[in-house]
Structure 1
Amino acid sequence: MADENKWEQFASSFEEKNNYVVGIKDIQRVKVALLSVTNLGKMLELGCGNGTYTSCFVDSASHITATDLSEDMVAVTKERFDGIEHVTVESADCFALPYEDNSFDTVFMANLLHVIPEPERALAEANRVLKPEGKLMAMSFTLDGMSFFNKLGLKYRFVKTYGAKSGSSTMMTPQLASSLASTAKFENITTQVLGKSVKAVYLSATKRKVTENQTIEAAVAV
């Protein structure tokens, strides 16, 4: 995919470039929020990039499977977490995950939903691989709440660094994030906007609990 190749070429300097485009202080604000979440169990990360946010969960997850479609991003992240036994880094397509149903306690994705053509498909796959009552955490860039001048500055830095924005990108808002999660059959959906100059939507939700009737129906089907 052309969009994937666009990001792949920045693998070796991705964090440095994001620090410039977004700003270290606002990235740190997001990290503080992520570091506050505990007891994540067996965790899957989609679109891990170079592992910037993966590092936030090393102490709060029993095991992390960090994935990205870009082989170059995977290589960089593997090197970053080399020697950390409970972090596995591998290539995976968020639209067709190579994992069994009900495999993970937590699924996390950062800055993925707004750059892929069908975010609802990625959320549906996240729901599939989550255990019942498993946790979804998604963080995605938004213009919501940003001032005109901050938007202008961000656009300048982005185009200067990465080139023109992809035609397949989605302008994420708290309302859209909630709607997408609901469509993917998540519940207990909450959103908040993080950041000061540059903003991000932080979505939290859970997979529905399996009812007694569903358990009986599944047993009969077998």
Structure 2
Amino acid sequence: MNDQSKETYWSQYVDEFEQKQQHVVGDNILFLMKDELLKEQDLGEVLELGCGTGLFTEALQKVAGKVLATDFSEEMVTAAQEKRANLKHVKFEKANALNLEYGDASYDTVFMANLIHVIGNAEKLIHESKRVLKKEGRLIITSFAITEMNFFARMAMGIRYIKTFGKPSDDATREKTTRKSVEKLLISNEFEITKSVLLGNKSKAFFISCIKR
């Protein structure tokens, strides 16, 4: 899928995106992911990748000095600017997480929620995140952990997803990103994992926090 196709794919879901996502995965798992994020402290200047309409940006700005929240879809960015116009020290702009235009060692923290499992190139995503992070900077990744769910929960979520969003994008089905595979990728890129937890009951997500060494 080329860049234009990727943007078109995600832009079509701008209307009621958060409500649709909540319907597919449930309110509880999203609450747990945001609650885990709020346990982080003093994140400094943060770059958020794949912000969507700003659902996690709202929690992120409470533990950060300032936030640059980015998304590949221009429509998502516009929606985030409208929905989260009241957030202080937050700027929204379009950016490609696989080809960031920001300088080396620019940010104290890079954060991404529900991006790594749909990006299609987790290795490059981690590499770009590392490049823009300062030494000792923090990378925080949280994502749905479908492989950790039981068979019936996976099937139910899959059906809800298809009814709500249709067929998954090519990028989302290109590679399987599990908690273990992401941990392995981080370690191979010389990150020190300081936290790795599994959240949720029926719907599940992982939350990993690590430091650039």
Who wins on radius of gyration, i.e. which is larger? 1
Give, as a single letter, the amino acid of the residue that structure 1 aligns with 2:179: P
Structure 1 residues not aligned, in runs of 5+: 209-222
Residue aligned with 2:147, SS: coil
For residues 88 and 146 of structure 2, what CA distance do their matches in structure 1 show?
A: 38
Match of 2:93 among 90, 93, 97: 90
Moved more, 123-132 or 144-153: 144-153
What is the aligned partner in structure 2 of residue 168 from structure 1? 171
With the length of structure 1 as denominator, give the TM-score of the two structures: 0.89
Match of 2:188 among 183, 188, 206: 183
Residue aligned with 1:76, SS: helix
Is 1:202 matched up with 2:207? Answer: yes
Shift of 1:179: 1.4
For residues 188 and 147 of structure 1, what CA distance do their matches in structure 2 show?
A: 26
Residue aligned with 2:120, SS: coil
Is 1:45 matched up with 2:48? Answer: yes
Note the alpha carbon deviations across 1:17-41, whole angstroms, 9 max, x for none.
0010000111111111111111111
What is the aligned partner in structure 2 of residue 215 from structure 1? none
Structure 2 residues not aligned, in runs of 5+: none
Is 1:18 matched up with 2:18? Answer: no
Q: How does 1:20-35 map to 2 (within 5 A)?
A: 20-35=23-38
What is the aligned partner in structure 1 of residue 62 from structure 2? 59
RMSD: 1.4
What is the aligned partner in structure 1 of residue 75 from structure 2? 72
Match of 2:150 among 135, 147, 151: 147
Q: How many residues align?
A: 208
For residues 167 and 62 of structure 2, what CA distance do their matches in structure 1 show?
A: 37
With the length of structure 2 as denominator, give the TM-score of the two structures: 0.92
